[in-house]
A and B are shown apart, each in its own frame.
Chain A
């Protein structure tokens, strides 16, 4: 028995569910000053610039992404507005070869690692140049080169997978770790609990990063869980845990660096709960006006993580308002140019329907594809894109 059963009591004394309250690690105030007693993490101008530029690009990507969905150019989009400090900051604290297994709102990490605007757009437009061959809805990015696992829609499935991936890293002894990112809603799934328990028992170098942004679509966190958030759950699994201000880039950077040290040096998992707010709707199909107030949103808009980092950088003399304006405008133009380019790339070839189901297409898949092509050939006007790609003309 490995529980600490050494201290006996002789009256039925229960420990209250709210006995433990976990504090929040904060470094940077909204005005750009550090909290008294807060230590400045190791960060130079070059790193600060790389982080801030990635946050700015992410915001412009999200702005244009949603606008294009509204114009009918994209079928779907998901913004990460308000959460860029978490999604860029954690990536900045990692080795670029550490594995990231994200949920779907972590485009900031990809931007930071250098996923190009063309790569984003090819995925968003499901065109022939999309790494995923146009098979998944917009925002399901992936990059083996950038060690960013392709996004999967089912929630929380990536969390136990991260435990397994990290076990493999430990066996390989390559000194890398895996980060699983997920929302506070996904933390209700069984896969979350399975993943944490296995990671603690098997001692693997994995970081569980929870973006507690207050909402799972329309469900507020008050209806998602009782108790003091997600962080204390890690303690139940015997795991290191910390809660941080997710809008504070310096707190995200420092906490993730420390977590990484524990993971790779001690082969032990860590949970980080980053408190933030989903300023955007859940997705382009959602309308938050039905479940939350403008007042609440305004309160969080005042805690904008980009504004906070900008204020701090200006204080460091690393940035100016003019530079800021120019950067956002330049990024907006770059995003729009990449979008125009990707829109013109044709859809994936019909042959891609059957590739990658198995390592090589099986005879029955070849047969089904041949039947499909025969059908398209008879009805080219019904399937114009595929017919064009296959060279079938009307009236043939």
Chain B
């Protein structure tokens, strides 16, 4: 075990993946010598050479188009989009190409080797172009897998699994806790399963569901609720697509209540999808309406960032409202 922050865990996973398979190739804007603007690819060029870790021109649609072609050739590209806010020029390549490559060719060709890494989320005074959480746009696209880790241990295991998964994966990294989240991480190679949620704390009164950086807020809210004698069960969804309905439904059947929290705006957010499915599966078990604590339906604000964030206090209030319904 070693103490690592989330960035070091990502860097360590990339290092292991490149060491393990010479077809793994990392690229994106500033990822070469500089090691990325957040340093997630530090020292990889030094270690594996310019052919396997390099800067690209500043063109997101080109980076993902290139990555799709490289993956279809049999290589294992790990493409970085510097901020999730800048993934949209590549939306066509991801939605129309990566996601449909295998299906449209009847499995003659696929881009299963592709992983797209991108830092997402707010809380870093980044305004609306360095703070977005665009996971729901991609969740509407069959053929993609979408993964979001909550801490360094999870980041390493889930990233290694994403790189080796035979399907294209969009891996969203919670940049607010890149350095703040520190924990024990095994030094060896390990993988955590995709498509599986994790119950991180058992409880009996209400299920709190979140992913990525938002896990920190539901944990703090659960501590506040503890003092009121409310027992919260906490689940980290980990994979947004395809998501683990069974683990969530099983928990809700036990607690009778569900609160989902995400940083992205409420309307069209992934909580809506979860709420509908759980309502369908657990209708007779529910003791209160499924609660959503999300961002406001506004572009991510700068000066009012603190007010925008669905923090532990907003979640705590929603827990009380649900339990007292």
Contact = CB atoms under 8 A, between A and B. Distances in A.
B324 interface: no
A165 B108 contact: no
A105 to B, nearest CB: 18
B102 A160 contact: no
Looking at chain A, what size class is its interface with the partner chain? 35 or more
Contacts of A162: 69
Contacts of B57: 194, 197-198, 201
A14 interface: no
A168 B74 contact: yes
B65 A159 contact: yes
Contact of A140 (B65, B69, B92, B104): B104
A150 interface: yes
Contacts of B75: 167-168, 171
Contact of A167 (B66, B104, B110): B66
Interface string B61-89: 11011111111111101000000000001
Contacts of A144: 105, 108-109
A268 B108 CA distance: 28
B318 interface: no
Contacts of A133: 106
B105 A195 contact: no
B217 interface: no
Contacts of B109: 142, 144, 149-150
Contacts of A171: 23, 25, 51, 75
B62 A131 contact: no
Contacts of B70: 164-165, 167-168
Interface string A119-151: 000000000001111011000101110000110
A358 B242 CA distance: 10
Main secondary structure on chain B at its contact with chain A? mixed
A178 B51 CA distance: 18
A264 B7 CA distance: 39
A163 interface: yes
B245 interface: yes
A355 interface: yes
A194 B104 contact: no
B167 A358 contact: yes
B54 interface: yes
A373 B211 CA distance: 34
Contact of A149 (B72, B107, B195): B72
Given A132-B106, A356-B106, A152 B65 contact: no
Given A142-B108, A152-B97, A195-B62, A161 B167 contact: no
Contacts of B142: 357
Contacts of B162: none
Contacts of A364: 242, 245
Contacts of A168: 69-70, 73-75
Contacts of B266: none
Interface in A161-177: 161-169, 171-172
Nearest to B73: A168
A317 interface: no
Contacts of A202: 54, 56
B93 interface: yes
A157 interface: yes
Contacts of A149: 72, 105, 109
A306 B110 CA distance: 36
A359 B167 contact: yes
A165 B66 CA distance: 7
Nearest to A190: B61
Contact of A135 (B59, B74, B103): B103
Nearest to A155: B92
Nearest to B64: A160
B105 A154 contact: no
B92 A154 contact: yes
A190 B107 contact: no
A362 interface: yes
B107 A143 contact: no
A131 B66 contact: no
Interface in A330-355: 355
Contacts of A99: 73
A193 B56 CA distance: 14
Contacts of A154: 92, 96-97
Contacts of B77: 164
26 contacts: A132-B104, A135-B104, A142-B106, A144-B108, A150-B104, A152-B104, A154-B96, A157-B97, A159-B65, A161-B65, A161-B72, A162-B69, A163-B65, A164-B71, A167-B69, A167-B70, A168-B69, A168-B73, A168-B75, A171-B75, A191-B61, A194-B59, A198-B57, A357-B102, A357-B142, A362-B195
**Nearest 7 pairs of A and B residues by beta carbon:** A160-B65, A164-B69, A194-B62, A161-B69, A168-B73, A150-B105, A164-B66
Given A136-B104, A178-B69, 11 more contacts: A132-B105, A133-B106, A152-B100, A154-B96, A157-B97, A165-B69, A169-B73, A171-B51, A195-B66, A356-B105, A359-B167
